[in-house]
Structures are given as structure tokens and as C-alpha cells.
Chain A
Amino acid sequence: MTEDRLDGLYRAHAADALRLAFVLTGRREAAEDITQDAFVRMGRKIFGLKDLDHERAYLFRTVINLSRSRGRKLQRERAAVAKLKPQSPSEIPGPDDTWTRLLMLPPRQRAALFFRYYLDQSETTSAEALNCSTSALKSLVNRGLKTLREAQGDER
């Protein structure tokens, strides 16, 4: 991949990659790191992927994978920090419970909801980024929505 292409890719997709990483980790700093790592990996591919759609799917897959490996470390860190000090404001469940509930969903369900409802991607494109079939994607979305709905129901 040429650096020009990397630049273009970064301009086009970095914000969405960062948002995906944020949805997956719930941490701004971690999301920034993951996004950076994901683009470094893209840049090391000297020849690019076939087209923009594939590049984007590849980028999102990378973010998901990096988030997954980072997630375990983060969980341990969080547990340790939680013992020492009160949670930072962004982590205290506020009036916006849907967001908090979203962050408590399994990561792949989170990613599926992000692709479908934030990026408004098609099922096919979303499935590609999650490296799964469209039926598996539908299942992820439905299970995610169901959990969110049930959580809301509980509170009413």
C-alpha cells in the first residue's frame, strides 16, 4: 500500500474505526491505540486490497480483533482500578441507560449493532467486516436488540 493510499484510507475511515473501537472497548484511549495499530497494519501491506469496500472490511476486522485481545487486558485493569478509586464520570451509568447496556453486550453483538445502526451498512457488508455469514449477523443483531429491549423493560 502506498503512503498516499494509506493517507486516503485514514481520512476516509479513521473516525469510524475509532468509533467502532470505542464501542468495543468503552475506552477512548484504548480506542485511539487500536485505531492506530489497525492503520499501521494496513500500511504494512505493501500492495493493497482489491477495492475500497474490502479495505474497509479489513480495517474493521482488524479493529475487532485488536479490541478483543486488548479487551482482556482492559478488563483486568478496570478491575484493579475500580478497587482504588471511584469510577470516572464517563463510566458511571447515567440517565442514558441504553448506551451502558450496549457496552455490556458481547463485543460481536456490539459491533453488529454498530455496523447496522450507526454506519447503516448493509447486512452483507456488515457480515464481511465481522467475518461471518449474513444469517449469523442477523442473529447477532437480533440478540443484541432483544437484550437491550429486555433491559429497558425491566426498568419500567
Chain B
Amino acid sequence: MNNDGSKLREVMARHLDELQPATPIEQIRRRARRGRLVMRISLAALAVFVTASATFVLARLSDGSSHHAVGPGPAAEDGLIAFTTQDNNDPQPWIAVVPAPGGEITRLREGRDPSWSPDGTRIAFACDRGICTMNADGSAVHQLTNPEAPGFDEAPDWGPQGRIAFTRNYMDHPRLESARPRDIVLVGDDGGEQITITNHQSDDSEPTWSPDGKSIAYIRAQGRPSEAPPGGWQLWTMNADGTGSIQLTGAGAGRPDWSPDGRSILFDEASALWTIPSEVGEPDKLPVVSGSGFDVGSSPSWAPEARRFAFTCSSKGTDDNDICLSEVGSDEWTALVATRENEASPAWQPTAPIEGSDGETFGRYKFTIGGGFSRNGEPIENTGLVEVDASEGSVCVESNVKGATSAHLLREGAEAWDHIVIFEIPRDYRPSMCSRGLDGPSLQAVIDDPTMYLIEFSNKFTGKTLTAPLEIIDGASVDDGNRQNESTGQQGRVSCDDTDGDLMSEGSGDRSGRGAQAPEQPQAGADLAGFSMSRYDGTLEMNWGTHGQVPDFLADGAKLTFVLTGSSKEPGYTFASITATLRNDRWKVLIRNTDDEADYLQTPEVAGNMVNLVIEPGLVPRLMRGTFRWRAISKWEPAGGPVYNDYCPDSGFPRFEGTSS
């Protein structure tokens, strides 16, 4: 060995000693000073955006010169996007900012994980081992925390009411074994007391505040980080004091960001980006990563108007990360920052709220959409409300149209700017949907003459649409109470002719009862009501039955099958089916957990024409531990009668039934 070594030394010296660099240092200095490349999207990409009806807002991202262009787009300025940038070989990342439409990158300071203050003037970030804040130009740095070595703090999120939540690590390097699971800690934005709000055995990290500051979404895994199984990190929410934890996902999640309108949470998982309703619902995979040539999309951050978002993207064929922009529901994207360095963790600067004016730019309209006919031949109508507020740039729709995956305001032959997208994706079928941050002549046109416009609901899976004209309501005379009556009083059940075609009732539940949706009341004239309520404080309770008359499904031998979809803590768990059979006035309910194929028998109570089923904790152990959502009565077999699928012979099983994976 020694011989080998000395021989090698000698040989290397012979070949290497004389080598001296020929590059003058001035050349290196000059190159080092040169600015970085900032890519802006091309005009071709702009054209694609403009033609995509849902993505008109992205057009203004195309270049700085269109910044003040007339047309629909986010109100006011787009602000800055802060992000982490790191040389491929550099162990020390930096915080940098770039204007959201694209432009010069400004490197601010060493650090990572930037998060804007709610007023958009300062940035919290992970500095050295603690959490720091600084001005948006990198000045006035304050260190808020200085954890005991070898621990370190990271991933701050600056919430309202002057509190910053962050992740505390009890190890000196992310790759080392953690001494104990991570915790989420709160600290005031001027320092002061640090409160650990997650003293669980679980590993808690990556907090993001709800806009009202009452809740925090975060990532949780059982045990120490090294012990979590793949996909073992899930999205949870909790109250800001650490109580009331609710699990939202069942198939993994990371880097959540709570939307500025509070409705949904963006997160990454399996190199893709997802949204999930912030209460309870199913995750929805965004098309931008999977459909458009990225290998990786991660760490998303909402724009202030809660439709666009920035994210860390990595294009195929390159091994560095950049910052891209896209919009919910769109597979179009823009490279905002594309350098040879690694960019990550974008944070979109909040814009100051726009002052609303009182009433002049506000319009409220109703519409009536035919929902087909009930089995008794009674016409079912669905009345909804559209509210347009130009001063806040919002259009909201309230209705009970089930199964719609998009709602648009449009008029025949309209230009793109006369086409307002209210929502474009299945978002938990909320009775109320809003599009915010709109601007320009289209909104004004709706307010000036709403009768020119149609509201269109569509279902992207079946391609079916429902349209109805807008009728003006005397805005001054409609107060909130009346609105409630208006929107729910004439609630009708969607039947076969409607968008989704299934007789459906839905709801959701969670462990604490928070987030349980209002029961959908069975309607007079409807033959079958479906589930009406969930309580999830350890038990699952479902009621179904009818209003008014006792239908033949309560005759002996009738059988009902339900499909339960949703997520639970157990990765891979997808759904259970529930079959209820009436025998001698007693319902036998068979719950089939598709994962383990165990059958759970239960006898529900029958009271009058209502059936009440209570599933005790432990009966379906895994079902009980997750959050879930039921969504379909998929089969009904009256005694001796034909089999009804979805109650509508032609429609088959629900096509847009989702699972959590």
C-alpha cells in the first residue's frame, strides 16, 4: 500500500505540479458580477393563455409591459415573490425576491423558507438556526428565536395577529436522526415568548395559518421523522392553540399553503400539486405538473387572489429547480425564475386589501335552473344567487346544483374578457363558490346589464351543461336572512336530467365535529333522501329516509347500497361500501371495508320512515380514524323490483367519485 501511495504521489506530481491556471482573475470577477438570467414567458405562451378561458389572468404575467394593460386580471399590483435560491453546490441558501410578472432578481440575505408578513412589508425566514424577520429589501433583520444547539428552526409562516408559526427540529442536520419528533412553535413577530403547540408523539411540521388566524394546517406523521412510512406524512389542521386536530389527507402531503380566501389548501405530494377544501373534502390533483412536462412540482404558494399560485418546478431534462406560476385548474404554466441555480419555496407577497365602495359596484342576481323532474313528475327547480362585487373584484354563486365542476358567466359570442369563470374544478360541491380578484370591463358589464349574461354550470366528465339567464334582484331589499331563504328554501333534488345524474346526498365529517356540513334535508316529493348527517366524535351516524310518504324501498327485502369515499389515516385505504337490507322491519347493514374485506354487520334503528345508523368506534376501526366523505347512493333495489343504479337507470355509477390518493 505504501509503495502504491508513493508511486501515485510521484506520478501525480509529475503530471500536475506544472499546471497553473491561465484565466486572469479579472475575467472571473467580471463573470461573477454579471446578472442572472430571468426568463419571461414567450408571446407564444401568452397566446395559449389568452385562448384558455380560465386562465386569462395569467396573460398579465407575460411581461412587464402589460402590467397596466386594460382587461381582466388581478386587481392592483401583483407584488413580489420571495424564494430560496441555492447554488448547486452551495450549502448556504439565500432569500431573493422577484416581481411576480417577472423581472430582476434581488438577492436579499442568507436564509431560506421566506414567508411574508400579512401586510407584505416584511419577510420571516429561517436564518442560521433560528427564525428571523427582515424588511422586504433585506434590511432591519431581527432574530426571533435561537434554539438550543443542535436544534434549529425552519419553515416559518407569518400569520395574522402578529404571530409566526414555525417548525422546531431537535437535531443538528435534517439527515441525522432526530432526537425526538418535530414540533410547531409560535412566537410573536417581535420576539417574546415561544409557545410549543404540538407536544404530541407525532412529528409535526410545516405550519400554515388560516387567513383568520384561528387555525393552522400542518404536516403530521406518527413518531419520529425517520420512522414514518413512505406517504406517512399527512395534512392536518388544528386550532391555533394546538387543540382540535383534524386529518385532511390520507395519501400523503407536504408543504401546505392555506389559501388567502380560506377555502382550500394547496400542498405537494408525489411530485405533484394538489388542492383540498380546508374543511373536509377530497384532494384534487392540479393538472399543471402532471400534464405539462414537469418532473417535479412542489412547495406551492397562493397568489393573493387565491387562484394563481407559484411553485417550485423542475422541467424534464434539467436537474435544477426553478420557480413557476400557474393557476388552479389550468395546465398552463410560466417560468418566472429560471436560472442555473436551485430556486425553491416561493412565497407570494400579499397585496393590501382593496377598499370596497358601498353598493354602487355591487350587483345581486338570481337564476333558476331546471333540474328535471322527480319520480312523481314534479318539476324540480334550482334557484341560485349570483353576487358580483366589482369593488372587491369578486363573483360568487350560491346554488344547489350538484355535480357541477365549473360555473361560468358568459354571453353569446362574447370575447374572452366577457367570460367570467366562477369556478373550474370540482371543489367539494360547495353550495357557494367565488371567484375573486377579478377586474376590468367584464365585471362592470355584468353589473350594467346582467340580463345579457347566462350562468352556465357544466360537468367536465359528462360534458353536459346547464344554463340559465340572470335576473336582477333589488339588491337593497335583500338582506342576508332573505338570501339564505332564497337559496335554500327552494332547494330541489337534482335528478336524472341534471348534471350529475345521480340521486346524491353528501356530507362530510371529522373527528371533532368541526367541518361537518349542514345536513341536507330530505325534500317533499323526493322519494329517497340519502344520508343527512354526520357526527364524527368517534361515531359515524347516518340517516336516510323520506319526507312525506313511505316509499316502497322500506318494504321488506329492499336493499340499498352506498359507497363511501374518503381518506383515513391508513395509507392506501380508499373506501367502504355499505349495504343495508330490510328484513322483517329490521335493517341489516353490511359494511365492507375494501382493504381488508372484512364485513361489519350492524343493525340500524328504523323510526317511521327514517333509518338511523350509528357505527360505533371500533366497528370499522380504520374507517373511524380518518376523515371521509360519502357521496353516493349508488344502488337501490326495491323488494321484488328492478335494480336502480344511482336511481337513474341510464346514468350508471357516479363518474366523478373520487378517492383520496
Q: A residues bordering B, Cβ < 8 Å?
A: 3, 6-7, 10, 14-15, 17-19, 22-23, 28, 31-32, 35-36, 39-47, 49, 58, 61-62, 65, 96, 98-99, 102, 113-114, 117-118, 145, 148-149
Contact = CB atoms under 8 A, between A and B. Distances in A.
Contact of B5 (A28, A32, A47, A117): A117
A106 B29 CA distance: 33
Given A58-B91, A65-B88, A44 B32 contact: yes
B87 interface: yes
B21 interface: yes
22 contacts: A6-B28, A6-B32, A7-B25, A7-B29, A10-B25, A23-B12, A23-B16, A28-B19, A32-B23, A36-B28, A36-B31, A40-B28, A40-B31, A43-B28, A43-B32, A43-B33, A45-B90, A58-B91, A62-B88, A99-B12, A102-B11, A113-B12
Given A7-B25, A15-B19, A41 B11 contact: no
B7 interface: yes
A108 B266 CA distance: 41
Contacts of A42: 32
Contact of B89 (A10, A62, A145): A62
A17 B37 CA distance: 26
B317 to A, nearest CB: 13
Nearest to A58: B89
Contacts of A43: 28-29, 31-33
The 4 closest A-B pairs by CB, nearest first: A43-B32, A14-B21, A19-B16, A62-B89
A36 B19 CA distance: 14
A63 B89 CA distance: 9
Given A35-B21, A96-B11, A145-B8, A40 B32 contact: yes
B92 A49 contact: yes
A98 to B, nearest CB: 5
B15 A32 contact: no
Interface in B1-41: 1, 4-5, 7-9, 11-16, 19-23, 25, 27-29, 31-33
Nearest to A17: B21
Nearest to B92: A49
A18 B21 CA distance: 6
A15 B21 contact: yes
Interface of B: 1, 4-5, 7-9, 11-16, 19-23, 25, 27-29, 31-33, 87-92, 107, 110
A3 B90 CA distance: 18
A2 to B, nearest CB: 11
A47 B17 CA distance: 32
Contact of B22 (A32, A39, A149): A32
Contacts of A31: 19
A99 B15 contact: yes
B504 to A, nearest CB: 55
A101 B431 CA distance: 73
Contacts of A23: 12, 16
A35 B25 CA distance: 11
B21 A98 contact: no
Contacts of A65: 88-89
A85 B32 CA distance: 37
Contacts of A98: 7-8, 11
A117 B4 CA distance: 10
Contacts of B107: 46
A30 B54 CA distance: 49
B471 to A, nearest CB: 62
B8 A117 contact: yes
Contacts of B22: 32
A145 B4 contact: yes
Contacts of B91: 49, 58
B4 A148 contact: yes
A105 B107 CA distance: 40
A14 B29 CA distance: 14
A110 B593 CA distance: 57
Nearest to A31: B19
Contacts of B13: 118
Contact of B19 (A19, A46, A96, A148): A19
Given A40-B31, A145-B4, 11 more contacts: A10-B21, A14-B23, A15-B19, A23-B12, A36-B23, A36-B27, A39-B32, A65-B88, A96-B11, A99-B11, A114-B12
